[in-house]
Amino acid sequence: MPTREEALAERTYKEDGIDVEKRVFYTLAGNSKVSGETLQVHRNSKAIALLFKTLLDAGTLTEEHLDEILLEVTW
């Protein structure tokens, strides 16, 4: 079983220097550019990613809480 940090890196694209928006978007929509996903999935993922970034920037959401949310989505 992977460690928590390994799971975060593998399932939620957590790595040093990645923008919060990209990390959330890739977790929700996937990281492939051509995968048959609909435009609506991309729009929803982008909106949620921007919301999470705004909450992090405002201090309403912590990095630890973001990690927990994204892990929950990927289980």
pTM for the whole thing? 0.71
Where in the sequence is the domain holding 44, given as residue range(s)?
4-74
Evaluate if residue 34 carries a pLDDT over 50.
no
Is residue 47 pLDDT above 70, yes or no?
A: yes
| Average pLDDT value for residue range 59-74 | 94
User: pLDDT-derived band of residue 37, with 50, 70 and 90 as boundaries?
Assistant: low
Residue 26 pLDDT exceeds 90: no
Residue 41 CB burial class (10 angstroms; 0-12, 13-18, ≥19)? middle
Element (H, E) at 47: helix 39-58
Give how many domains the chain has, as a whole number. Answer: 1
Residue 70 pLDDT greater than 90, yes or no: yes
**Closest by Cα among 5, 75, 20, 4 to 52:** 20
